[in-house]
Structure 1
Amino acid sequence: MNNKKITRIRRITKFRKNLQKFKITRLLIHRTSRHIYAQVISKNNKILVTASTLESKIKKKLKYTGNIKAAILVGNKIANRSIKKGILNVSFDRSGFKYHGRIKELAKAARYSGLKF
């Protein structure tokens, strides 16, 4: 494994160990070069709500799904779906990715739509 991936995994494990102590519902983000995925995971590690750029409604709106516009759409969609389920407070799990670019814009969109973290 390259050094960049090792440091990202190290950041993930630190954060998730800390979350296990407090048993908090979390908003997990994963990104690739083409897509971005978001999941709301309960205290018991069960997936409650999902949204991603693989959904047909989001794909139709955009030409390319690996950009900031796509991240904003996913952020809005995950916030709306989780609020409908009654989930308002979550912890933002960025999966070790740095907080800039698509990750930052997804978080802003989710906050703007009503999620608190």
Structure 2
Amino acid sequence: MAKLTGDDRRRARVRRAVKAAANGRPRLSVHRSSMHIYAQVIDDTQGRTLASASTIDKELREGLKTGADKDAAAAVGKLIAARALAAGVTKVVFDRGQFLFHGRVKALADAAREGGLDF
């Protein structure tokens, strides 16, 4: 078995805690890179993505100055909330992955809550 890096261990630890707390709720998974931020609502029981949004989506890309700031993260949060509500999802569990809950990740979560998602 390959040796896990610190990021891999952190991601696995967070994922394990999220799945334990989920109680059948879909998971709102967030990934951020240096240039973009991505969000997915995933149903782990069926292994399906129910909704997704990112700063590379055409409707967001045109209105954003950059995909790597808090304003872009908030726009993605609002969009993922709207798409999840359209898919019939209101309650999710937040999966921050390997990323700390501050900055862009926190901005996305706050915007998703304002958009109507409950977590």
Q: TM-score, normalised by structure 1?
A: 0.88
**Where does structure 2 lack aligned partners over 5 or more consecutive residues?**
none
* Residues 83-98 of structure 1: pairs in structure 2 closer than 5 A: 83-98=85-100
* Rounded Cα–Cα distance in structure 1 between residues aligned with 2:53 and 2:79: 7
Question: 2:104 pairs with 83, 102, 106, which one?
Answer: 102
Q: Secondary structure at the match of 1:114?
A: coil
Range with bigger deviation, 44-53 or 5-14: 5-14
Q: Give the corresponding residue for 2:38.
A: 37
Which residue of structure 1 lines up, in the alignment, with residue 84 of structure 2?
A: 82
**Percent identity for Structure 1 against Structure 2:** 41
**Which runs of 5 or more structure 1 residues have no equivalent in the other structure?**
none
3-state SS in 1 of match to 2:39 = strand
Q: Tell me which residue corresponds to 1:47.
A: 49
Aligned length: 113
Higher helix share: 1
Displacement of 1:99: 0.5
- CA separation in 1, counterparts of 2:87 and 2:112? 15
In structure 2, what is the Cα distance between the partners aligned to 1:74 and 1:20? 23
For 2:29, the equivalent position in structure 1 comes to 28
1:9 aligns with 2:8: yes
Partner deviation per Cα, 1:63-87 (whole Å, 9 max, x = no partner): 2111111000000000011011110
Deviation digits for residues 4-34 of structure 1 (CA, Å, limit 9, x no counterpart): x932221211222244444431000000000
Q: What RMSD over aligned residues (CA atoms) do the two structures have, in Å?
A: 1.6
Cα distance in 1 for partners of 2:25, 2:7 equals 22
Code of the aligned partner of 2:36: H
Structure 1 pair 104–19 and aligned structure 2 pair: CA distance change class (3 A): closer
Letter aligned with residue 107 of structure 1:
A
